[in-house]
Structure 1
């Protein structure tokens, strides 16, 4: 059952596109394609005005300024947004404070959240419960991934295998090995600097 009303369609549909790191931008173009394709989905749902916000590509949600997210919140507060589309609604915000701020603003101005799983009205208790759980699970997932990564780094350090940088004249190779740099000029620069 669609929750989209003529009032929602009279306002814009905003597609928020984000990938957290430059590495994701480089190596995961499929995620970006899926996110940009949401603009067409918004048109299929009946919106004529579709705005894509992709200012935050390559920006982490943790402690980093996200001008695109701020622009999205401003447009919601001004009543210009009938729905926000994302591949996964909980990916819109990467911490509890931002997530709950987004939900509150959407509830205040009757703005829907739409992802691949469904349409959510933050004014409705059941939808709010589902959105709350999605946000909590997303935050928990990030916390677990962060903990696992830190523990893996600690274990590598304990074994003496953690190399964040290597000295001039050397390069990191596969399987965390360190070899002489294949560039003779770099290697000779290293030797002359140590003499």
Structure 2
């Protein structure tokens, strides 16, 4: 088994994150699933799990994610036996950060655990899977972003794209469209 007494002697850290305030309000099930990973850590042998939820409502594209930074510091200090997340690739905001996390976990012997498995970054096959997961996640995000941008462009071409007006301005409609809200 990948989990050793050395891993169990260190902490199990559960990283909980939702990117926006809207997700916090409208997607409570995701948060419940993430918090339930503490129970998974206990079932795998850890006596307790440390919850890192400082990044709730913070976008991965933002400048500061204190929970992520504290987690990385704890990993580098050798205090973390395992990091748990619903989807491991969500632990980082981009490929560079993801591969840095895998590298640090490998150096200090920290496992990465998600709903699909237990990964030991020191093992070549696990490292390959983690790398592919991160690459696929980044590809998925770029495809979704491209689709969203194209949808906005199509709405703009049809004259149906309406964005918020800056404070102090009043939205007006061309004569032929006066009946629109």
Q: Tell me if TM exceeds 0.5.
A: yes
Alpha-carbon offset, residue 64 of structure 1: 2.7
Aligned partner of 1:12 in structure 2 is: 11
Alignment check: 8 A CA contact 1:19 1:58 kept: yes
Return the alpha-carbon distance in structure 2 between the equivalents of residues 94 and 142 of structure 1: 10
Alpha-carbon offset, residue 49 of structure 1: 3.2
**RCO (CA 8 Å, sep 6+): is it higher in 1 or 2?**
2
Aligned partner of 1:60 in structure 2 is: 59
TM-score by length of 1: 0.84
TM-score by length of 2: 0.90
Bigger Rg over Cα: 1
Return the alpha-carbon distance in structure 2 between the equivalents of residues 169 and 89 of structure 1: 44
1:156-167 residue pairs with structure 2 within 5 A?
156-165=155-164
Unaligned runs of 5+ in 1: 171-176, 180-195
Q: 1:64 aligns to what SS in structure 2?
A: coil
Q: Does 1:33 align with 2:32?
A: yes
Alpha-carbon offset, residue 94 of structure 1: 2.2
Q: 1:138 aligns to what SS in structure 2?
A: helix
Alignment check: 8 A CA contact 1:11 1:49 kept: no
Q: Which moved more, 1:42-51 or 1:58-67?
A: 58-67
The structure 1 segments of at least 4 consecutive aligned residues displaced by more than 4 Å after TM superposition are 166-170
Q: 1:114 aligns to what SS in structure 2?
A: strand
Count, aligned residues: 172
